[in-house]
Amino acid sequence: MSYVMVDVEADGPIPGDYSMVCLGAVVVEPSLERTFYGRLKPVSEEWVPEALAVSGFSRAETLDFDDPAEVMTAFAGWLRENSKGKPMFVSDNNGFDWQFVNWYFHHFTGKNPFGFSSTNLGSLYKGLVKDPFASFKHLRKTSHTHHPVDDAKGNAEAMLAMREMGLKARFR
């Protein structure tokens, strides 16, 4: 099993009614060299300007992004090539990121390579330090820029640091 840190930027709060703008992923391992990045054309006419602004893209730019079916097919292929066994989806905000990735995989490829589960990085940290109010974000080395690969790398760095703190996880 491989841990895959995922980050999503979107133009609204839910998939289908709104669109995933881009996604980034990195295999959680010391090198952090195996990454994926995709930019997706909107699936809806609806969008929230403030949500889209977080991504740094304009609506006009997103209209020229790649076909979502092609991006999700490429992401599924990347997961097959870069995971040992079934990949484990991990995210800083899995309630948000997971819903978009899951919806897009099922809608555009018919299945989600991650299965039906995800892991929340913040919850892992809270359990590790036994403090429900603790934040892992100080463990990031890569700046949180809202570019999904940067954000996934920073979160993967935090997970690697958690292993050094006693998290029982194997990274290959």
Instruction: Read off the pLDDT of residues 112-168 as tens digits, 9 standing for 90 and up.
Output: 999 999 999 999 999 999 999 999 999 999 999 999 999 999 999 999 999 999 998
Question: Which stretches within the chain are classed as H helix?
Answer: 49-55, 59-62, 68-82, 94-109, 121-129, 148-164
- Say which residues have a Cβ less than 8 Å from residue 25's Cβ, sequence separation at least 6: 4, 5, 6, 7, 35, 36, 75, 78, 79, 148, 149, 152
- Whether 146 is a known active-site residue: answer yes
Q: Which of 106, 138, 146, 147 is catalytic?
A: 146
pLDDT at residue 68 in the model: 98
Let me know if residue 169 belongs to a domain.
no
Q: Could you tell me the residue range of the domain that residue 152 belongs to?
A: 2-164
Instruction: Work out how many domains the chain is built from and give that number.
Output: 1
Let me know if residue 98 belongs to a domain.
yes
Let me know if residue 172 belongs to a domain.
no
Query: pTM to 2 decimals?
Result: 0.96
Judge whether residue 172 has pLDDT over 80: no
- CATH assignment of the domain containing 74: 3.30.420.10
Let me know if residue 97 belongs to a domain.
yes
Let me know if residue 104 belongs to a domain.
yes
Let me know if residue 82 belongs to a domain.
yes
Let me know if residue 42 belongs to a domain.
yes
Let me know if residue 171 belongs to a domain.
no
